[in-house]
Amino acid sequence: MKRSERFIFFDNINTTFPDPEVIDIINKTLVSRLGNPSSHVHSAGISAGAAIDAAREKVSSLINASGGSVVFTSGATESNNLAVRGFFAANPRFQFAFPAIEHYSIMNQAVDLRKNNVKVKTISIDSSGIVDLDSLEEIVRGHPAFISVAPANPEIGTVQDVPAISEICRRNGAVLHCDATAAAGLMELDVAEMGIDLLTLSAHNMYGPMGVGALYIGKNINISPLFAGGNQESGIRPGTENIAGIAGMGQACRIVKDGIESYRDHLKRLGLRLWRGLADSIQFIHFTGHEEKRLPGHVSFWVEHVEGESLLLLLSMNGIMASSGSACSSNLKGKDESDLAASHVLTAIGVPSDICAGSITFSMCKDNTEDEVEAVLEVMPGIVGKLLEMSPSYEDYKKGKEIHHG
């Protein structure tokens, strides 16, 4: 099949393209003859520090972080590690708890924490990915706990009731961390109003550059650095700062803060049209995540008898880019191609592995259009139909149906 010249990017949950304003400020920063921001004795170093301070103020403004501090990092994974490992290095007597749908940069830290005698617990969720508040209450009652819950899940789009989660944490003396990588730019984040103690941000998920992130740290939270170095970022994140990237992240935060109300409504319309169009035209489709409590412009599903990776490949051949929470993802513990592991998110919400061979996520951004949604709806039925014709499990399904009706 010849690849299409069409380019429809519906994989914005994994990365967004930098906004032109972000690119402009990065370019200007790179040619501004800025020195090392740690060089406080000359104008080039002072100007570099001022550029970082300006960006920090924009990030703080986006999340209303006036009561705490914002530390710049290399991205969400480092921010999550700094939040969790940094906290437990300073507060070893706490227990660690999170839902089973969290990002690997949260979940995989539990392995080392257990080796250091930290108790790790899993917060129950329902079939749409919503946190069970009674389960959370039981975990935090009577024992100091560090809770990590993402405000929104990137694979299934479900949005959590963070204020309710925070209220339980506050009442029981627990600390709440939120990985807002998927949420920032799509929903409003106010760490003061929502009662969040630590918050992870990623620039490239909200129209900024790759390789830059931030961690908000509440004023009463003690964090130890992950590695030794100088006194950059108040000594919490040593190493010379990426000034151009940080400036770009700051500008991205300003763009998101100023425009989120208008483009959020636009994304809701696109998402609703795509959801309904797929529901009306695709046989054996099962949507994942909460139907209403979900990110705008986010549609996730799986199709019985159809492999997610095959669907993703044919979409790409048609110039449409999406993402897959595949049930055929390589297991990190094995090297054999047959050693496959289901998406941990799909498994956690109870998707049946015997008939689900992978999920698809369509995620849109402020620049996507209605015409692009219609183009996806035009090609999807044919792609799914072709894959069903090639599916052994679909053949078995048809034979079973014939026998049943025979």
What structural domains and CATH numbers belong to the chain?
Answer: 8-14+260-405 (3.90.1150.10), 20-256 (3.40.640.10)
Burial of 292 (0-12, 13-18, 19+ CB in 10 A): exposed
Reported confidence tier of residue 338, pLDDT bands at 50, 70, 90? very low
Candidates 71, 41, 76, 79; CA nearest to 55 is 71
Out of 169, 253, 328, 365, pick the active-site residue.
328
pLDDT in tens, 179-230: 999 999 999 999 999 999 999 999 999 999 999 999 999 999 999 999 999 9
Backbone angles phi, psi at 139, to 5 degrees: -70, -45
Backbone angles phi, psi at 308, to 5 degrees: -60, -40
Q: Is 365 considered catalytic here?
A: no
Q: State the DSSP string of 97-137.
A: EEETTS-HHHHTHHHHHHHTT--EEEE-B-TT--B-HHHHH
Q: How far is CA 167 from the centre of its chain?
A: 23
Strands 8-9, 320-321: parallel, antiparallel or unpaired by DSSP? parallel
Q: How is residue 203 annotated by DSSP?
A: G
Lowest-confidence region among 68-77, 103-112, 367-376, 395-404: 395-404
pTM of the model: 0.93
Q: How is residue 204 annotated by DSSP?
A: G
pLDDT in tens, 254-311: 999 999 999 999 999 999 999 999 999 999 999 999 999 999 999 999 999 998 899 9
Burial of 239 (0-12, 13-18, 19+ CB in 10 A): middle
Backbone angles phi, psi at 20, to 5 degrees: -55, -35
Candidates 164, 114, 171, 161; CA nearest to 140 is 171
Reported confidence tier of residue 1, pLDDT bands at 50, 70, 90? low
pLDDT in tens, 354-396: 667 778 999 999 999 999 999 999 999 999 999 999 988 888 8
Count other C-beta atoms under 10 Å from residue 226's C-beta.
16
